[in-house]
Structure 1
Amino acid sequence: MAWVRRSGNLLCALVVALAMMLLLGAGYGPVPALGRALAPAGGVWDSAGADPTAHDETLDLSGLSRPAKVTFSRDGYAAVDAASDRDLFVVQGYVTARFRIAQMDLARRLGSGRLSELNGPAQLESDRFELRLGLLRSARAEWAAYEPGSTVHEALTAYAEGVNAWLQRLGETGEWPVIYGLTGVRPQRWTPVDSLVVQKVFTQQMDFSTAPLTYELLRGSLGQKRTAEWFPHHAPTPQQPYDPGPYRTLPLDPVPTPDANAAAPTAAAAPASPEPAASPSATAQAAGQLLAELGQLPYAGRQERFNSNAWAVNGPAAGGGSMLAGDPHIGVSLPSSWFQITLRSPGYRVSGGSLPGAPGVVLGRNEHLSWSLTNASSQGTFYYKEKTSADRPGAYYWKGAWRQMEKVHYTIPVRGADPVGLDVDLTVHGPVMTMKKQTLAVTWMGNRRSDDLGAILRVNRARNHTEFRAALRNWRAPAMNFVYADDKGGIAAISPGTYPQFPAGTEPWRAMSGTGDDEMTGTIPFDAVPQVRNPPGHVISSTNQRQVGEDYPYYLGTAGYFDPGHRQSVILDRLGEDGTLTPADFAALQNDVTDELAARLVPALLAALDKDGLNARQRAARDLLAAWDHTMDVGSPAASIWWTFLSGYLSDVFGPWWDAQDVPADEDRSLDLTSLPIPLREALEHWTLHDPDNEAFTPPGGVRRDAPAVMRSAFGRAVDDLADRFGPRPATWTWGKLHSREIVAITGAPGLGYGPYADGGDPWTVNAAGGDLTSDFGPSWRMIVRWTGPGRGSATAVYPGGQSENPASPWYTNLVARWRDGRALPLPDPSGRSALDGAAWTVRPGG
């Protein structure tokens, strides 16, 4: 039967590959014809013999000093046992590359601006953007700063040697992944800089933001007063910080001085008066231009839709020990964003999810402690309006003098076309992202040196909370929330990162003046960042909410950066129930689809509806809402009614303002009302419950309305819309007919993903399903760790997909069903006390 299943998988992969060859041979849309890449010799055919799984084998590996061992579970998880730390990372690089080399190569190409070399001219805009932003520049500078022989230098060097050993074998056998057979392009040798680039791609997805540009668009259309009210500094709805204070006010950490060369005055250095400040409309136009460019990229390119969960309990709720749960919510894909691995050597005994392309384990457990991550969601991206003049090309005005911009030149290789040149201008604030209407430069914390990899490796080796906390002291970007539990019953959370501070009166949530008045004054010191340990309530939960209360003495970001707290409410309610919690309770909570916003607003909607004034279909829909438990279950018709109503309610309130004030939602998808922007949801919730006569309910120049009137109208239209789509009977309007999930292939190739399939959840349920009604975003990894005493712990984990990127492999989608059903597998014990039950490799020095 195993052979039959594998054969079916292989047949499916071959059918899809044939379809891709027919499609790509002629070209389609943005995909150019591949021509000779399809030739039987040296083309796609050479990938047909690649081994899709692992079997017992002995292999020789260059760079290894002593024999090592790799064992596999039947489900594909790998465990590495090595005699030295350096050997450990050589083997980790080899194992990861063997199952994920295309994923690793695509990530480094994305961050290095080399997608066009593989995919042709269609990816030029992506390459230009990434090279302007500067991930490659930052990675090179970071690598140069590591001392030879240091822990990170050795780990990166060893990891690269392992990756290159697999690339060498592919070159000898010709068993390249299909994408290289189709294009005829081969991946270059792996370098330590490549691993840092991959890490910075992750940082960009977590931390690079365009929110200040959005704010400029809003100011230019809604005006300053309404923008400040509807997109406020602090949300009007109740917040539940994990660190409630009291807080310490400490001196700021200093920031590096600007680069001396970039800041040097030009030859005509006499102080000159700058030209008049750019008008708000010019700034808004420049912001719109940059946002429009971002909207054309083949990927998000910025922080959006992050809804991760991590919580920990101790004391009576954990039976005297401690428990941790974590499920980072990002885009779900095949293969997964994570590669599960167990690492054992003299310095490391750790198990969890690694980032394909980088050494170590990003989230998981070792013999004494466990940790998971959520996005801190703070503002880490700042824009500056540089003062320029047509009379001084290539110069900008800063601190009383004209300065010459630094220029960096790149040559972008393009498959099927001539190379393309790109010049990037740099000011003291960072790369210039656009010069149209207004020169905008970006200061992004991801471009500053950050020893994140060193921090992760230190976390992997930590034995207690003191060492864990010390390991994170030099973590810089992205700012993250680390939630922790250990084998002595301790729990904690801390949010390390770079949090810039500015002079009083500066508005960093907008594009700021680049002439020198709005420079950073420092960053929050590590001892004052949000953090808590062993709180009296025995519960810590991080769900991307603002981590602190309004009396926190430092700036973290405005309301739109943070989650509204609906998941937080559900989690705290469940964890606060009487009794001892079990891993099964944690698993049920990870899969919970309760919509707390519905629980708050549906009673107000029911109160607004006059039952006698409804027709029969509307009464049936109302009765479904009245009996609803507020869960977004796949079979719930009330969930469909609620979602359709909420979308219409928000659109009915803000749509007339958007139209009347010409809000450019077409330039910035975060302003598209169908995306239900967080600040507007928070405002609508607050007004509905506490200010139903707010002026926002009355459209500009229209007849006065209040919240109940708009709710009645939105409800009636929702019922009509659902009847048009699904028929006249409300009981048949199940959420699964409206809502589905999809696990997409990282190449975007049709047929290589999973789904779409009907499913529950929505963007703010604990089991999140973000994005459109066909969601490709949610829990990318679910982990639960239980500690019952010193050195005694057990853990489970699962993610949507499998260990292999090869569609012909039984390890490509084998974990999806478990992930869907909430049935995690044991996370291998990093102590090695329990053996894996699959194939084993004996790895010898040589090769």
Structure 2
Amino acid sequence: MWRHLRRTLEVGGGVILAAAVLVPSATGLAGLPALGATLNPGGGVWRPAADAGPARAETVSLPGLSAPATVAFEDNGLAHVTAGVDADLFRTIGYVHARFRLAQMDLTRRQAQGELAEIVGPDALESDRFERDLGLQRAARRDWAALPAGPARETLTAYSRGVNDAIRELVRDHRLPTLFTVLGYEPREWTPVDSLAVQRLVGQKISFDEQAVRFSFAQKALGQKVFDQWFPVVPGNRQQPYDKGPFKKLPLEPLPVRAYPADGVPADGAPGPLGTPPTTVPAAAVHSLGNSNSWVVSGSRTASGAPILSADPHLPYSLPSIWYQLEGSSPGYHFSGVTTPGIPVPLLGKTGTFSWGLTASQRPTTLFYEERTDPARPGQHFYQGKWQPLTSVPEPIKVRGGATEQHQVRLTAHGPIMRVQARDYAVWWAGTLPSDNMSSMLALLRAKDLGGFRASLRGWTTPALNFSYADRSGNIAMFNVGVAPQVASGNPALPLAGDGSGDVTGSIAHDALPSSVNPPEGYIVSANQREASGDYPYQYSTSYNFVERGWRDGEIVEQLSHQDKLTLAQSAALQSDWHDNHARQLVPLLLGALKGVELDPFEQRVADLLAAWDYTASPDKPQPVFFDSYKNRLSWATFQPWWTHYKVPQDPDKGLLPRNADSGAWANETLRGTVLGWIQNDPDNAFFSLPDGTRRDATDVMRAAFHETVANALKKYGPDFRNWTYGKYESVLFPNLAGMSALDLGPYPGWGGNPRTPNVSVGTRDAADGRPLSNLATAGATWRFGVDWGTGQIQAVTAGGQSENPMSPWYGNGIPLWMKGRYWPVLEGAAVQGARTVQWKVTS
């Protein structure tokens, strides 16, 4: 989405908003509205929408407010909202969100509802077509129409009123965020449908993926038997599921019916021949990285004698952050945590009696159906033994500077037809099933104990998540929730037959989903690993469906299992930990394989270097530079001859297979676990040998990969290990959400970590040639949070800060603490009164 916005704002190789920041100007550029009103005439800097300087005391009028409310801001921007009526609490939160994040909120709802082209132009059409096809807006409208009177409806209505209070005030006072002035429009009123659409977009970004299609290219070439050996259901190396059974085999639960209200009913009859090809799924819309760590530790293992919870959701970094941290207090609610602007309730945080975190459950909830069609029968597909018409939903898309596009969503019984990896599929995605997650979250916030917490999640539909839990009574728990589709035949982690034989028959029952409550080991860890052991009696995740392969979860378990008096400071240190558990498992095996081998002097120096390594991918260490290359070359040495033998094609997006011996790829992500499992448990596996019959075992392959990696590293970095230090090549960047590079913070050199360390570092930005910049971290922990229920300590930090305004002191102000592994204390209640704060008085 953001690259489209950036194209719109770039002129002649320069970024307009960068010019607005740096160059005094009162004239319009390249046909866009004049920027004079957005600039300070004297300073030539970004003029504040409403929050460029330190916050000031204000009296805010929200007509019709039931009772006075207050908003207190700490020096770091953390907000505390107190109201005398529950609805007023969420109305005030809506107002605060809009005051500090209105541009973010408007762009996000436009992305969710396929309305970016209206303000950005044709470059956004690809994103808009996709979102219209997927149907977040249709689903949000349907769910709002079906939502009964009660807390959820009242909350969404009150929140929308608060957002609109802020919009009207900002328009009246000519203080809209600069982006609106540059793009020349005013935001429309906020509605509950907007919040429900944003909620679904958040789910899309962590659950809509195309791994089933990508890996089908390998499956078809390898055949099912070999494919299953290479890409097993459970990763081949040591795993750490938090639910080890015994498991319940319960009847499947029926799924909610995916029907739409009257204004969204597909037209009857066949739409006729397809006028345009199906929408291509944009790369930016697809889930592309594992998300998050959370663990809970029983009081039997903590210094305080009470539970500790730690949580850090992993997402792309952005300025502003996806999160807005606040405390909310009213007669019916008290919580501290992070909200997503556009959504009124916190998604992670704590109440007065318990704390909770979230991680994404990496199991298939995006299914792809290969529909049978016939050129002689345009507009039809073969389903349940007969030819049936496609149905169509008109979705006109307004385009800035052009005519409205008369887009048509084409649907089969399984979902919209989309082009994925150059092939057409009907896409079934759980994210548009009817759901009422708002009621679930409000019930969660009102829960008083473990039983109430678990009961609140019973109605959760999507996305699939793991909720971690720790309370002041001493309980710890982890619950997997959300739809887990089961199909009549086929594998939901690969494309399915569209003739009806592979239809979804129901979902795993809520009570049969993985869970753990007060386990004897005294801790529970979720880091996107497969939650259940291999004997789980349902279709579930596979080793290639984004499941963590035992690295992050393995390291966290390794460290927690050796702690019997854990403190919050130690748990926080683990959130910033750069130990690489893949290296911890593999390097000793490599060193064992090198025993008795005559190494040249430089190879011996490298072996000695590895023997002295503590397995941290920290900036001062040379070993992680070597290991990052070695892990890739080990997979290449093992599998590349077989890729060629089986004629496995590269997928059209060029992400399945590695480009060369030193590069990663989606296949490699799984195969690293597979080859480690073979080394550990099956060193004579036939696939270590070559297709021509040349005999090799695990030791031979490890040695060959070592020699090749040393030679390559020597050529690339030279013989001086000071030139190998990881921090020379690793940096971290916090990109501005609108794609304005002049408003980025960073890159900061001397960073560490990788996708396998608890403190994740992931590169999501591409170079000019399209290759990923893996050494530039642009994703990882977006909020770090910890609670010790014994000491009462609560701490958190978000790097992106609280404001979207680059001139605000709260723009990216968490970065220095975040980079050092430090935190802000989370103040609540009376403690806030003792801190230096700025107060807003909110009146009717």
TM-score (norm 2): 0.89
Shift of 1:684: 1.5
Which deviations, in whole Å up to 9, do the C-alpha atoms of 1:448-506 show, x marking residues without a partner? 01221221121112111111111111001111000100111111110111011223x43
- Please tell me whether residue 357 in structure 1 is matched to residue 356 in structure 2: no
- Please tell me whether residue 185 in structure 1 is matched to residue 177 in structure 2: no
Which has the larger displacement, 628-637 or 770-779? Answer: 770-779
- Please tell me whether residue 778 in structure 1 is matched to residue 774 in structure 2: no
Distance 1:263 1:16 in 2: 42
Counterpart mapping for 1:3-18 below 5 A:
17-18=17-18
Change (3 A) 1:702 1:812: farther
Distance 1:249 1:327 in 2: 32
- Please tell me whether residue 75 in structure 1 is matched to residue 59 in structure 2: no
The one-letter code of the counterpart of 1:786 is D
Residue number in structure 2 paired with 1:276: none
Distance 2:38 2:801 in 1: 28
- Please tell me whether residue 516 in structure 1 is matched to residue 500 in structure 2: yes
Distance 1:844 1:735 in 2: 55
Segments of 5+ residues of structure 1 without an aligned counterpart are 1-13, 26-31, 269-288
Residue number in structure 1 paired with 2:670: 679
Distance 1:109 1:804 in 2: 20
Q: Is the 8 A contact 1:608 1:712 kept in 2?
A: yes
The one-letter code of the counterpart of 2:650 is P
Counterpart mapping for 1:232-381 below 5 A:
232-256=232-256, 293-294=280-281, 297=283, 299=284, 301-318=285-302, 319-381=304-366
SS at match of 1:483: strand
Counterpart mapping for 1:729-768 below 5 A:
729-757=720-748, 758-768=750-760
Shift of 1:831: 7.2
Of residues 551, 558, 563 in structure 1, which corresponds to 2:535? 551
- Please tell me whether residue 100 in structure 1 is matched to residue 86 in structure 2: no
Structure richer in helix, relative to its length: 1
Root-mean-square deviation (Å):
2.9
Change (3 A) 1:690 1:249: closer
Counterpart mapping for 1:72-471 below 5 A:
72-147=73-148, 149-256=149-256, 293-294=280-281, 297=283, 299=284, 301-318=285-302, 319-434=304-419, 439-471=424-456
Residue number in structure 1 paired with 2:770: none
Distance 2:84 2:33 in 1: 43
Shift of 1:91: 0.5
Segments of 5+ residues of structure 2 without an aligned counterpart are 1-13, 272-276, 764-773
Distance 2:414 2:30 in 1: 42
Change (3 A) 1:769 1:49: closer
Shift of 1:797: 0.5
Q: Is the 8 A contact 2:267 2:392 kept in 1?
A: no
Residue number in structure 2 paired with 1:829: 828
SS at match of 1:326: strand
Q: Is the 8 A contact 1:563 1:678 kept in 2?
A: no
Distance 1:760 1:482 in 2: 28
Which deviations, in whole Å up to 9, do the C-alpha atoms of 1:752-793 show, x marking residues without a partner? 2222222111101111112322111111111111112xxx83
Which has the larger displacement, 111-120 or 423-432? Answer: 111-120
Q: Is the 8 A contact 1:741 1:759 kept in 2?
A: yes
The one-letter code of the counterpart of 1:191 is T
Distance 2:48 2:469 in 1: 44
Distance 1:15 1:435 in 2: 32
Distance 1:16 1:613 in 2: 61
Distance 1:258 1:93 in 2: 30
Distance 2:735 2:280 in 1: 24
Q: Is the 8 A contact 1:723 1:730 kept in 2?
A: no
- Please tell me whether residue 477 in structure 1 is matched to residue 462 in structure 2: yes
SS at match of 1:243: coil
Shift of 1:802: 0.7
Which deviations, in whole Å up to 9, do the C-alpha atoms of 1:661-720 show, x marking residues without a partner? 142145242544523633211112122333334343345448554433333343333334
Change (3 A) 1:54 1:711: same
Distance 2:486 2:266 in 1: 21
Residue number in structure 1 paired with 2:4: none
Q: Is the 8 A contact 2:256 2:433 kept in 1?
A: no
Q: Is the 8 A contact 1:342 1:351 kept in 2?
A: yes
Q: Is the 8 A contact 1:255 1:522 kept in 2?
A: yes
Change (3 A) 1:643 1:572: same
- Please tell me whether residue 539 in structure 1 is matched to residue 523 in structure 2: yes
Distance 2:696 2:807 in 1: 59
Identity %: 39
Change (3 A) 1:741 1:36: closer
Shift of 1:88: 0.7
Residue number in structure 2 paired with 1:271: none
SS at match of 1:36: coil
Of residues 674, 678, 700 in structure 2, which corresponds to 1:709? 700
Q: Is the 8 A contact 2:83 2:330 kept in 1?
A: yes
Distance 1:535 1:100 in 2: 41
Which has the larger displacement, 545-554 or 60-69? Answer: 60-69
Change (3 A) 1:493 1:34: farther
Distance 2:709 2:423 in 1: 43
- Please tell me whether residue 663 in structure 1 is matched to residue 649 in structure 2: yes
Shift of 1:657: 3.7
Change (3 A) 1:714 1:293: farther
Of residues 462, 474, 479 in structure 2, which corresponds to 1:494? 479
Residue number in structure 1 paired with 2:3: none
Which has the larger displacement, 113-122 or 321-330? Answer: 113-122
Which deviations, in whole Å up to 9, do the C-alpha atoms of 1:431-463 show, x marking residues without a partner? 111399965111111010122122112111211
Shift of 1:510: 1.8
The one-letter code of the counterpart of 2:370 is K
Which has the larger displacement, 602-611 or 574-583? Answer: 602-611
Which has the larger displacement, 570-579 or 108-117? Answer: 570-579
Count of equivalent residues: 797
Q: Is the 8 A contact 1:139 1:197 kept in 2?
A: yes
Q: Is the 8 A contact 1:431 1:441 kept in 2?
A: yes
The one-letter code of the counterpart of 2:544 is G
The one-letter code of the counterpart of 2:87 is R
Distance 1:40 1:702 in 2: 74
Shift of 1:127: 1.2
Q: Is the 8 A contact 2:551 2:580 kept in 1?
A: yes
Shift of 1:400: 2.6
Which deviations, in whole Å up to 9, do the C-alpha atoms of 1:173-220 show, x marking residues without a partner? 222323222221332221111111111111001111212111322233
Which deviations, in whole Å up to 9, do the C-alpha atoms of 1:720-770 show, x marking residues without a partner? 433344333124310112222222111121122222222111101111112
Distance 1:263 1:247 in 2: 41
Distance 2:618 2:830 in 1: 40
Residue number in structure 2 paired with 1:722: 713
Q: Is the 8 A contact 1:85 1:347 kept in 2?
A: yes
Distance 2:307 2:356 in 1: 12
Residue number in structure 1 paired with 2:771: none
Change (3 A) 1:43 1:180: farther
Distance 2:325 2:192 in 1: 21
SS at match of 1:407: strand
Distance 2:371 2:266 in 1: 13
Which deviations, in whole Å up to 9, do the C-alpha atoms of 1:38-83 show, x marking residues without a partner? 3525899897143324211112123522211000111000011111
Distance 1:713 1:560 in 2: 26
Residue number in structure 2 paired with 1:11: none
Change (3 A) 1:527 1:264: farther
